[in-house]
């Protein structure tokens, strides 16, 4: 699981590199977004695989909007980190990635569609 401190640091790096306003808008919303992929009910994980976990985290970060700026960037990066933990990478063009993130942020993709897109674009990381 990625810690709040790690995500805040990654966010700062992204803002330094690509521009925008630094700062956390709502810590509780960040905590909620980061915990969603690991939620359980009756001891059973609600998100059973890395694709669902990645979908849960990107959707939560984009919808919760915990940072002042750069939520779409941090959402995509953290989603990717979740996949990389288990040896997966996203194989998509920049345009496909951009449209994917914009569609999530604008509410045009539901959770299952997000998960399906990730799974369809996932390839095994050759560095694993």
Segments making up each domain of the chain, as ranges: 4-124
In CATH terms, the superfamily for domain 4-124 is Fic/DOC protein, Fido domain (1.20.120.1870)
Specify whether the CB–CB gap between 74 and 57 falls below 8 A.
no
Query: pLDDT tens across 76-126, in order?
Result: 999 999 999 999 999 999 999 999 999 999 999 999 999 999 999 999 987
Query: pLDDT tens across 21-30, in order?
Result: 999 999 999 9
Q: How far is CA 116 from CA 12, 25, 109, in A?
A: 30, 30, 10
């Amino acid at each position: 699981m990625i810690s709040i401190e790690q995500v805040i640091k990654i966010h700062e790096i992204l803002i330094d590199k690509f521009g925008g306003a630094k700062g956390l808008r709502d810590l509780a919303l960040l905590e909620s977004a980061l915990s969603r992929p690991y939620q359980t009910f009756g001891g059973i994980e609600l998100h059973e695989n890395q694709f669902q976990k990645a979908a849960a985290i990107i959707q939560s970060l984009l919808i919760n909007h915990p940072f002042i700026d750069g939520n779409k960037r941090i959402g995509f990066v953290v989603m990717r980190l979740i996949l990389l933990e288990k040896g997966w990478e996203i194989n998509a063009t920049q345009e496909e990635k951009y449209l994917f993130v914009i569609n999530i942020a604008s509410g045009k993709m539901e959770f299952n569609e997000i998960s399906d897109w990730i799974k369809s674009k996932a390839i095994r990381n050759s560095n694993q």
